[in-house]
Amino acid sequence: MVVAPYDFIIIGGGTAGCVLANRLSADGCHRVLMLEAGPRDRSPWIHLPIGYGKTMFHKTLNWGFYTEPEPTMGDRRIYWPRGRTLGGSSSINGLIYVRGQREDYDHWAALGNDGWSWKDVLPYFIRSEHNTKGAGPAHGADGPLWCSDIGQRHELIEAIIAGAGELGVPRSDDFNTGDQEGVGYYQLFTRNGRRCSTAVAYLRPARTRPNLHVETDAQATGLILEGRRVVGVRYRRNGRMQEARAGAEVILAAGALQSPQLLMLSGIGPQEELARHGIPVAHALPGVGANLQDHLQIRLMYRVAKPITTNDELRSLWGKARIGLQWLLTRSGPLAVGINQGGLFTRVMPGPGTPDVQFHFATLSADMAGGAPHPWSGCTFSVCQLRPESRGSVTLRSADPFAAPVMRANYLATETDRLCTVEGIKFARRLAATGPLRDLLTEEVKPGAETEGDAALLAFARASGATIFHPSGTCRMGTDPLAVTDVRLRVHGVGGLRVVDCSIMPTLVSGNTSAPVVMIAEKASEMILSDARAGSTPISVAAQGLGTFSEAAREGSPV
């Protein structure tokens, strides 16, 4: 019999993985291994909020995926960045803290996912946060994840807030109470002007625990099964194939693109897909890789009458020096707030209901998200439909674990999605025409005043729309035959295996996905530990001083 040196193995040291690593190792009783394909999060560009532009196309810290040519988007292949380092996408994301709407989670529960209503998930959001607003009915102040108000006010964002008021959208100081309607400043995952990824918030405090072992540059290539039970994982580290065994559970936290890929590589997935790549079926699970959902952002760009934009500050050497100094002295200014400061949630489709579009307002303009700022005073209104009906998929390119999976987003495939997207663009234009903005925004650069009528706006969306980086739902939880996990996130029909990341969302939440993933991992940790205590997953004996970081990862600064 092989002795399992670990109780839990977490695959993927990303947003969810770092939360799990902390919570599962906290009581000192369980031996935890976390494998992360990327390197440690040492790059200063990760930790400086404005570094977003630098990590967006980084060769090492970013997987840099592309979708297949999208027939609904003019056959364009759309760039899908994903974090590839400790903290995963929370180390490279736009830092915006949004939980979604109360109704998103009540909908999950209504679909049969008991324990996932807003009332059920709120305590996990609260537990995770150290909110600079302080503790309250909707917020926590004692958690590890810093969520900070943007202290500074920007003339442009103030004008947007005033303009939205003319359209009947109220000012909001908090988008995270479950009720989103409003316009205001986002809160950011920052602590004193530096990024607070889950690696910073959760992994750093746990790094000296003797029962937590983290291996970076360690890419899982498949699960080891004995019958229908997962007992370990194969991975490549420093060019060498290795195996690790788990006495209790393997937890897949490789994200919405690679968790389904790893399941399929291990023979767990749709039979036809496995057969196409000559992979023996360990357990047929037709829903693996299906149900892919994402938010499509449409970016409108404006010239601004005054040199008050981040473009202006970044253009000159003096401007750069000034904002650098501002950050060093006060931990504030453009370097501390990243890209998007202002947000707006409203309803643009007819009839009653909750907000169906979200805006990100940037005091900066560039040809693409994360691209170089324009050499003129510019700003961006990005709008996305919050609950798209279109569904895509993740499938295998080949049985090679180092090949990127095949991703198809299938944006704008339904009439509702097309209508809502066009209405969102029209709302942006109404906003730009309000009193407070009319004179400040001198020209609509994109789509441009000549783009008129719904058909032309839809054509603009198809020609220029891009991801707002929220692929989800590819291992969705549920109770029907296409569900991949149950409500405790255990993979249907396979023992010793859970999925805990963005892929378990049955439907995409109305907003950014990082905070929901942290909530999912917080809740999953509690379920995993409670199942372990109840003996429903065998747990081996107590920790025996495994050390924390593997030697290669130990070199240099702490995590």
Ligand X SMILES: Cc1cc2nc3c(=O)[nH]c(=O)nc-3n(C[C@H](O)[C@H](O)[C@H](O)COP(=O)(O)OP(=O)(O)OC[C@H]3O[C@@H](n4cnc5c(N)ncnc54)[C@H](O)[C@@H]3O)c2cc1C
Asked if residue 244 binds ligand X (CB under 6 A), the reply is no
Greatest extent of the chain over all pairs of C-alpha atoms, in Å = 76
Contact pattern from residue 470 through residue 509 relative to ligand X, giving x for each residue in contact according to CB under 6 A and a dash for the rest: x------------------------------xx-------
| Residue (of 512, 515, 349, 368) closest to 423 by Cα position | 349
Binds ligand X (CB under 6 A): choice among 203, 515, 524, 543: 515
Contact pattern from residue 32 through residue 71 relative to ligand X, giving x for each residue in contact according to CB under 6 A and a dash for the rest: ---xxxx---------------------------------
Let me know the angle formed at the C-alpha of 376 by 370 and 382, rounded to the nearest 5 degrees.
Answer: 45
Which residues inside 526-555 make contact with ligand X, applying CB under 6 A?
none
Nearest CB to ligand X, comparing residues 444 and 501: 501
Nearest CB to ligand X, comparing residues 87 and 270: 87
Report which DSSP code applies to 485: B
Least gap, CB of 15 to ligand X (angstroms): 3
Which residues inside 409-438 make contact with ligand X, applying CB under 6 A?
none
Q: Which residue is at the shortest CB distance from ligand X?
A: 14
Reply yes or no on whether 277 is catalytic.
no
CA distances from 13 to 198, 240, 251, 353 (A): 9, 19, 11, 38
Least gap, CB of 103 to ligand X (angstroms): 18
Binds ligand X (CB under 6 A): choice among 4, 9, 10, 16: 16
Least gap, CB of 549 to ligand X (angstroms): 15
Q: To the nearest 10°, report the CA torsion of 203, 207, 211, 214.
A: 70
**What is the chain's alpha carbon radius of gyration, rounded to the nearest angstrom?**
23
Binds ligand X (CB under 6 A): choice among 73, 95, 362, 425: 95
Burial class (CB in 10 A: 0-12, 13-18, 19+), 173: exposed
**Helix axis angle, 454-464 relative to 415-432, nearest 10°?**
100
Sign of CA dihedral 269, 270, 273, 278: positive
Residue 214, strand partner residues: 34, 549
Binds ligand X (CB under 6 A): choice among 485, 513, 537, 548: 513
Contact pattern from residue 205 through residue 224 relative to ligand X, giving x for each residue in contact according to CB under 6 A and a dash for the rest: --------------xx----
Cα(first)–Cα(last) distance of the chain, in Å? Answer: 35
Least gap, CB of 137 to ligand X (angstroms): 22
Least gap, CB of 416 to ligand X (angstroms): 23
Distance CA 536, CA 285 (A): 23
How many residues belong to the site for ligand X (CB under 6 A)?
41
Backbone angles phi, psi at 129, to 5 degrees: -100, 145
Let me know the angle formed at the C-alpha of 242 by 17 and 475, rounded to the nearest 5 degrees.
Answer: 40
| Residue (of 354, 512, 499, 380) closest to 446 by Cα position | 380
Q: What type of residue sits at position 275?
A: A
Residue 384, strand partner residues: 297, 358
Asked if residue 262 binds ligand X (CB under 6 A), the reply is yes
Least gap, CB of 168 to ligand X (angstroms): 27
User: Which of these is catalytic: 154, 213, 470, 492?
Assistant: 470
Which residues inside 71-90 make contact with ligand X, applying CB under 6 A?
81-84, 88-90
Give the residues lining the site for ligand X (CB under 6 A). Answer: 11-17, 35-38, 81-84, 88-90, 92-96, 98, 219-220, 253-256, 258, 262, 469-470, 501-502, 512-515, 517
List, by residue number, the catalytic residues: 470
